[in-house]
Homo-oligomer: A and B are copies of this chain.
Amino acid sequence: MLALLKRDLVLATRAGGGFGLAVAFFLILCALVPFGVGPQTEALRPIAPGILWVGALLSCLLSLDRIFALDHEDGSLDLLATAPLPLEGVVAIKALAHWLTTSLPLIVAAPVFGLLLHLPGNAVPWLVVSLFIGTPALSVLGAFGAAITVGLRRGGLLLSLLVLPLYIPTLIFGTEIVRRGAQDADPVTPILFLGGISAAVVALVPFAAAAALRVNLR
């Protein structure tokens, strides 16, 4: 298990692994929105939490599409499935590796990009907290979608279509935390909900993803 985690981390950081692409994409998205919406602080401030969350979600999603596809193409997935690792564990580890290489940099970068969108200062810690709690669910759900679409030739857009609706509860509670934080309201309820969703997703969805992988391997 640890070997797999290590390999995925090394692969992501070597040349061609795409480390940092997600953050760059996040940056571009955050930069595009003011072009679309207008640069006024009053226009940007109220939508900043939402845009940051949607941006994080899309960057997370788009970096997921090849999480299993590459291993499928070069045959590693067949070999992993016959190795003494439960496939559920493989899914969980790959989601964890994705979280470490993609979501963690996003979380670190988010406060900076928050500046671009004039996110109020008192909301920044809540942004980080909400992303920290919510992104594991995004990674695991994305891994589920990637497992379903692993053998398909037009995976990218379909993956988004399958996964984005699953992201809705996470998104709602995530932005609610930030919004309440910005208004100095009490964000405990959405935090509890978000934590519950994340925990349940991380605990259960790997089984569904492993089942989908098994179907695609045969």
Residues of A with Cβ closer than 8 Å to B?
16-18, 21-22, 24-25, 28-29, 32-33, 35-38, 43, 46-47, 49-51, 53-54, 57-58, 62-63, 65-66, 70, 73, 153-154, 156-158, 160-161, 164-165, 167-168, 171-172, 175, 179
Which residues of B lie under 8 Å from residue A154 when comparing CB positions? 16-18, 21, 66, 70
A36–B50 CA distance with the chains assembled, in angstroms: 4
Q: Is the CB of B160 within 8 A of A28?
A: yes
What number of copies of this chain does the assembly contain?
2
Q: Is the CB of A22 within 8 A of B157?
A: yes
Interface of A is mostly: helix
A46–B46 CA distance with the chains assembled, in angstroms: 11
Q: Is the CB of B156 within 8 A of A32?
A: no
User: Given known contacts A62-B156, A154-B18, A164-B28, is B33 in contact with A37 (CB within 8 Å)?
Assistant: no
A174 to chain B, nearest CB (A): 8
A218 to chain B, nearest CB (A): 20
User: Given known contacts A62-B160, A153-B70, is B50 in contact with A33 (CB within 8 Å)?
Assistant: yes
Q: Is the CB of A164 within 8 A of B62?
A: no
A215–B34 CA distance with the chains assembled, in angstroms: 36
Q: Which of A46, A53, A73 has the most CB of B within 10 A?
A: A46
Q: Is the CB of A161 within 8 A of B28?
A: yes
Q: Is the CB of A157 within 8 A of B25?
A: yes
Which residues of B lie under 8 Å from residue A179 when comparing CB positions? 38
A67 to chain B, nearest CB (A): 11
- A37's contact among B38, B51, B63, B156, by CB below 8 Å, is which? B51
Q: Is the CB of A63 within 8 A of B25?
A: no
A146 to chain B, nearest CB (A): 12
Q: Is the CB of A157 within 8 A of B62?
A: yes
Q: Is the CB of A32 within 8 A of B157?
A: no
